[in-house]
Amino acid sequence: MRNLLCLILVVSIGFVRAQEVHLEIQVISALTSFPIKEAQVKLDALNRMTDTLGKVQFVVKANRVVQIRIKHMAFKPYVSQISGLKDTSLLVLLEPEIVVLNEVEVLVEKDNSFGISRMNNVEGTAIYAGKKSESIFIKDLNANLAANNSRQIFSKVPGINVFENEGSGSSIGVGGRGLNPNRISNFNTRQNGYDISADALGYPESYYTPPAEAIERIDILRGASGLQYGTQFGGLINYKLREAEKKKVAGNFRQTIGSFGFFNSFNQVSGTVKKISYNTFYQYKQYTGWRARSESDNHTAFLALGYQVNEKLKVCGEYTFMNYLAQQPGGMTDQQFKKDVTNVNRFRNWFKVNWNLFSLKADFKLTDQTQINLTTFGLIAGRDALGYLGRPDRMDDTSANRNLMRDRYRNFGAEARLLHRYVIKERNHHFLIGARYYNGQTNREQGDADKTAEPNFSFLHPDNLENSSYTFPSLNYAVFAENIFQVTSKWSVVPGVRFEYISTASEGYYRLINKNLAGNVLLDMKIEDQRSNSRSFVLLGLGNQYKLNQTLELYANISQNYRSINFNDMRVANPNFEVDPNLMDESGFTADGGIRGVIKNLLYFDVSLFYLQYNNRIGTTLKVDSFTYQIIRYRTNIGNSSNQGIEAFAELDWIRLVNKTSPHKLSTFLNFSLINAYYKSAQSAYNGKRVEYVPKTILRCGLTYAYKNIGFTLQYSQTSEQYSEATNAESSSSGLYGIIPAYSILDFSMHWNWKKWSVNTGLNNALNATYFTRRTEGYPGPGIIPADPINAYVTLGFKF
């Protein structure tokens, strides 16, 4: 009887399944054949949005007539009926929307066949028309993603200078157009549209970098275009993580081993069940390092839960966690670097980061013409630096207490945006208005820690610190607006305005302790310190865009910039470094213009000029310490400066020139920037001096060959010499300042895909160049920080 029941059950299940069919629809552009993301596909009462490949899946009953409706704001609607359904895949081509008077809708498609593209004119509730922008598509890169190799990931973005601190890629440093690359502090850095830096106003450094293996694309908006995202000179970097898959469960697992004890395990699971979507990943990274005392461990986790309330409203919550512990071998002098690049003279230095990011977002479609986005976000994080900061030409005194610098960050913010599409005189226009609230607080303490070599991040006298204890609150309100005016069928004008209110303050104490040569205390004074500064101002911007044809356009943009001082930089006890207590805010403007486009899907290019005017620029110079009489680095307002230059990128697929349908691909790219950056109207000692950390030329070029499921990339990078401070000193006995010589690097990568499996491998610094990219007065130094020698990696991937 039981067997009979089981048989009936099996037959019944098979009968039910026989009544269902699986239908996959892929939506692509009839103009370029590229997939169309976020197209709305309705199958009778069922409603789905296409993924990044333009695909969507349905399960429906067999042997019935269904109606398919597809809508996307940049394309003509599609309506069709299908009968006699069976398991199948359907390819749908959408025609671009044509407005009256042959005017092309402002939105354009992304061209990601080259791994890079400009951003769409309008995306969600943001306007990017008439702006210098780039989108890097990670899936199209043949690079060392496990180590977040910035030299490869940003290889197609002109003008990007890279700091290389250590080989695991736990944090990165990039700067554009001659701005300091240190921890991306000159960009507004975001993940999925919300801030991830320590304190957007008081301390805009990013100690957390999302794993490249979790990223769908990196959007970069240059400084002349960033009124929607703040006042900073650099602009915006936004890491857009891969979204949840549309099927119930999907996995992406990548395991990497590499030179010097490098191991990386990235594991991701995502899916969509009815109205609920989920996306989670965990990454563990371990690195022994090529210098002694360089080991590190990194844990990163992410969880996103989304709920499609109805066709008009979607909410999503996200949480990111990172814990990072690394030992730091310290920096070098010039002589030590020349003699032995593996030299280590710091045995007790440690660095720890703990990061907790929260976000809650709501997207509401008020009407077909009006969208609203509300994003709230918060950060609870900490950073601890422990060790000895004496000059690198002096050995660590292991009999002395170590020094501990402890930061705690507690930030909260909210940003609301409304985008409205409207028609005047049969032309499409777009209006954006938004508001931002941000409340940050940094607690910074510095004092003595134990004498051991262990990672013990505890003060010896927490109630009576030897150096300082401060609280740095910050408050920011902002309102911004932009509008795309479609003046003619080809010309659009994009004015913008931003009102900003900023309040920064500091409250705490610092101690003055003077000792004689015998170590006896001559002076011990605790000085209470309190200051505040509030200001409000309006910034203006104007963009232009002129379409030469469907795929080529001219663009130009100018906007004002502003950067407030960071009070929490002012009271750091460092024997190599001092900060001017009378620092002033920086201001200026950025202008750029150029031509960009795609020619017959063979050539992608973007060539532009830019000018950056920087008033009261804060930089680093040299001074004699009043107590030790040693030359130290001194941070102050150097004066006004100007950065001007050319940024050019082009990539050509040579095989498509002769055979557009060939399965082979052979492409070359060239990325070149020329930057002249000098101080002017400054103190006589600095007038005409080159701005620090600005190489005159940066060249990156590469060759890629691919056939079906295998590909190879060879990349060459060359960065010219640059100075580390404003006097343009050539060298120093301490290694703290001097020139950073030019360097050239060769990287090789290859990939192979087979069904659900993939293998990625390569060599970084394949010619084993000896070089460095920075000199530092603090951690991870002080002194010269040598870059990694030749190293290899292998990644095994599995997807389902």
Would you list the DSSP string of 525-582? EEEEEEEEEEEEEEEEEEEEEEESSSSEEEEEEEEEEEE---GGGS---BTTEEE-TT
d(CA 256, CA 762): 11
Would you list the DSSP string of 484-520? EEE-SSSEEEEEEEEEEEEEEEEEEEEEEEEE-TT--
Beta bridge mates, 506:
531
Q: Which two tokens stand for residue 596?
A: 């960009």
Confidence of residue 98 (pLDDT cuts 50, 70, 90): very low
Confirm if 454 and 408 have CB atoms less than 8 A apart.
Answer: no
- Output the pLDDT for position 570: 65
Residue with the bigger pLDDT between 441 and 514: it is 441
- Output the pLDDT for position 465: 95
Confirm if 313 and 261 have CB atoms less than 8 A apart.
Answer: no
Q: State the Cα torsion 38-306-361-373 to the nearest 10°.
A: 30
CA-nearest of 640, 582, 637 to 614 is 640
- Output the pLDDT for position 553: 95
Confirm if 52 and 110 have CB atoms less than 8 A apart.
Answer: no
Confirm if 296 and 324 have CB atoms less than 8 A apart.
Answer: yes
Classify 800 as helix, strand or coil. Answer: coil
Question: Which uninterrupted H or E stretch holds 90?
Answer: strand 88-94
d(CA 73, CA 107): 8
Confirm if 231 and 562 have CB atoms less than 8 A apart.
Answer: yes
Residue with the bigger pLDDT between 799 and 114: it is 799
d(CA 246, CA 297): 33
Residue 788, pLDDT > 90, answer yes
Average pLDDT of the residues in 479-492: 95
Q: Which two tokens stand for residue 747?
A: 């990287």
- Output the pLDDT for position 642: 95
pLDDT digits (tens, 9 = 90+) for 100-152: 333 333 333 444 468 899 999 999 999 999 999 999 999 999 999 999 999 99
Average pLDDT of the residues in 209-228: 91
Q: Which two tokens stand for residue 33?
A: 């054949």
Average pLDDT of the residues in 344-353: 95
pLDDT digits (tens, 9 = 90+) for 377-411: 999 999 999 999 888 888 888 999 999 999 999 99
- Output the pLDDT for position 26: 85
Cα-based distances in Å from 624 to 522, 577, 754, 799: 22, 10, 63, 59
Ranges 59-63, 70-74, 492-496, 539-543: which has the least confidence: 59-63
CA-nearest of 359, 278, 352, 285 to 320 is 359
Confirm if 721 and 730 have CB atoms less than 8 A apart.
Answer: no
- Output the pLDDT for position 77: 87
d(CA 495, CA 480): 11
- With a pLDDT cut of 90, the percent of the chain lying above it is 68
Ranges 447-461, 487-501, 572-586, 780-794: which has the least confidence: 572-586
> What is the distance between the terminal CA atoms of the chain, rounded to a whole angstrom?
39
- Output the pLDDT for position 622: 87
Would you list the DSSP string of 123-184? ETTEE-TTS-EEEEEGGG--S-TTTT-HHHHTTTSTTEEEE---TT-SS-EEEETT---GGG
Cα-based distances in Å from 537 to 503, 534, 560, 612: 12, 11, 11, 20
Average pLDDT of the residues in 280-299: 97
- Output the pLDDT for position 85: 63
- Output the pLDDT for position 468: 92
Average pLDDT of the residues in 627-646: 87
pLDDT digits (tens, 9 = 90+) for 462-485: 999 999 999 999 999 999 999 999
DSSP E strand stretches across 564-630: 577-579, 586-599, 603-624
Q: Which two tokens stand for residue 795?
A: 């990644």
Query: Is residue 471 packed enough to be buried (19+ CB in 10 Å), middle (13-18) or exposed (0-12)?
Result: middle
d(CA 576, CA 517): 19
Average pLDDT, the chain: 90
pLDDT digits (tens, 9 = 90+) for 166-198: 889 988 999 999 999 998 999 999 999 999 999
Q: Is the pTM for the entire model greater than 0.75? A: yes
Q: How many CB atoms lie within 10 A of CB 630?
A: 12
Confidence of residue 17 (pLDDT cuts 50, 70, 90): very low
- Output the pLDDT for position 782: 92
- Output the pLDDT for position 112: 43
Residue 15, pLDDT > 80, answer no
- Output the pLDDT for position 683: 67
Average pLDDT of the residues in 42-58: 83
- Output the pLDDT for position 571: 66
